[in-house]
């Protein structure tokens, strides 16, 4: 490398400022090929994302998998977090509209809070960046609106920025009006007629499922590339301690797949109350989960919202470790 070569990489914590981030990732058109590749890596068993004819009758178009949509949205936001050490949490994650195959996603990222972590002996300085991410379609219609928080290194391992914004001030309550609006025009009766088995009226809050069988985490860098995720720790074994980390959306996608084993007629996931990454996941881990139905909320047009909690653990070297605590909202007919 020449002495005058520029370094092509994302910002350090010191470089971040409150306000809109100037970099914008390429827009992504949701195609059948993209959906097929995503399904091959994380799995997909929701009927509307797999059955184009049923999706047209129920939702008015060929629905894209919500897991694909959130992976693309998060990936587009990683221009800010190319140097990320870890992603900590998501808040207020809400679909305002569920896009169809053929729609094009554009994402903007705004930095809303910065807090440098307390210095620790023997550890390089780091900070937390909270971001608000908004994804719109080709017509400018809002698709996703959420916050996420990432840990980033300082350029100076012993540096101090004085940033101590209050991350607890980031709101956590989802907008249920938006959630209900996302499915307001759906024909839930059509879905019930076409899908035998348990539906909303057969559910009881407090039910728990221990989902038998785990899922291997594979093709981790391929998923990161597929969704435009630039975080170096997902691509470069030398970028993080202990080797490459699996992108958090990969773990969430497998948890969503496992949830449909307990609830085969889960139509779509519409929002997240919260999502906390408890420990890193590595390629080659086997993920297992339990699912709890926390609450049921009837909808005016039949069916209802189901408030669910997925707890995921990773099997590695004959040991199990809790890696994800995910509370989300789905819709059932």
Q: Report pLDDT digits (tens) over 52-71.
A: 999 999 999 999 999 999 99
And the tokens for 320?
């199990």
Can you tell me the distance from the alpha carbon of 192 to that of 226, in angstroms, rounded to the nearest whole number?
34
Strand partners, 315: 286, 320
- What 3-state DSSP class applies to 254? helix
d(CA 267, CA 269): 7
C-alpha distance from residue 298 to each of 40, 93, 264, 332 (Å): 33, 21, 19, 9
Domains of the chain: 13-332 (3.10.129.10)
Which residues 6+ apart lie within 8 Å of 6 measured at CB? Answer: none
**Reported pTM:** 0.94
The secondary structure element, H or E, covering residue 194 is helix 188-194
Q: For residue 125, name the pLDDT band (cuts at 50, 70, 90).
A: very high
- Quick check: 1 pLDDT over 60? no
132-176 pLDDT tens trace? 999 999 999 999 999 999 999 999 988 889 999 999 888 888 999
H-helix or E-strand containing 316? strand 304-316
Distance (Å, whole) CA 7 – CA 333: 52
Q: Which among 100, 149, 142, 147 has a CA at the least distance from the CA of 127?
A: 149
Place of tokens 């300082």: 154
Give pLDDT tens digits for 66-108.
999 999 999 999 999 999 988 888 999 999 999 999 999 999 9
290 pLDDT more than 60 = yes
Exposure on the CB side of residue 177, measured as CA atoms within 13 A = 0
- What are the structure tokens assigned to 296, written together? 């049921």
Two structure tokens written together for 164: 């101590």
Is the pLDDT score of 250 beyond 80?
yes
Whether the CB-CB separation of 322 and 279 falls below 8 Å is answered with yes
Rounded-to-integer distance, Cα 127 and Cα 250, Å = 24
- Across 230-241, average pLDDT: 89
| Contact indicator for 298, 311 with CB cutoff of 8 Å | no
105 three-class SS: strand
pLDDT at 238 > cutoff 60: yes
CB 277 within 8 A of CB 285: no
pLDDT for residue 123: 86
Beta-bridged to residue 290, according to DSSP, are 210, 311
Angle CA(56)–CA(74)–CA(133) in degrees, nearest 5?
A: 95
Q: Quick check: 268 pLDDT over 70?
A: yes
DSSP conformation class of 202? G
Q: How many residues does the chain have?
A: 333
């Amino acid at each position: 490398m020449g002495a005058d070569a520029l370094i092509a990489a994302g910002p350090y914590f010191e470089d971040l400022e409150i306000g809109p981030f100037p970099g914008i990732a390429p827009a992504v058109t949701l195609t059948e090929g993209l959906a097929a590749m995503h399904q091959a890596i994380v799995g997909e068993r929701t009927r509307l994302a797999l059955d184009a004819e049923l999706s047209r009758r129920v939702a008015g178009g060929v629905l894209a998998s919500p897991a694909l949509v959130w992976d693309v949205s998060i990936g587009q936001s990683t221009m800010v977090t190319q140097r990320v050490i870890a992603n900590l949490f998501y808040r207020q994650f809400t679909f305002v509209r569920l896009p169809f195959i053929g729609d094009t996603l554009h994402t903007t990222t705004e930095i809303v809070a910065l807090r440098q972590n307390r210095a620790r002996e023997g550890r390089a300085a780091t900070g937390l960046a909270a971001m608000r991410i908004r994804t719109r379609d080709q017509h400018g219609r809002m698709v996703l609106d959420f916050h996420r928080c990432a840990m980033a290194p300082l350029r100076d391992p012993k540096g101090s920025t004085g940033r101590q914004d209050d991350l607890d001030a980031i709101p956590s309550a989802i907008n249920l009006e938006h959630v209900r609006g996302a499915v307001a025009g759906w024909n839930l009766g059509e879905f019930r007629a076409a899908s035998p088995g348990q539906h909303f009226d057969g559910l009881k809050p407090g039910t728990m499922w221990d989902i038998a069988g785990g899922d291997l985490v594979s093709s981790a860098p391929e998923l990161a590339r597929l969704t435009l995720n630039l975080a170096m720790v997902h691509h470069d074994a030398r970028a993080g301690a202990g080797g490459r980390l699996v992108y958090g959306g990969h773990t969430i996608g497998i948890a969503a797949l496992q949830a449909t084993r307990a609830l085969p007629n889960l139509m779509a996931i519409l929002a997240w109350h919260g999502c906390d990454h408890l420990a890193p996941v590595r390629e080659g881990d086997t993920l297992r989960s339990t699912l709890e139905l926390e609450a049921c909320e009837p909808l005016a047009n039949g069916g209802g919202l189901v408030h669910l909690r997925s707890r995921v653990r990773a099997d590695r070297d004959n040991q199990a470790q809790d890696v994800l605590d995910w509370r989300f909202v789905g819709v059932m007919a």
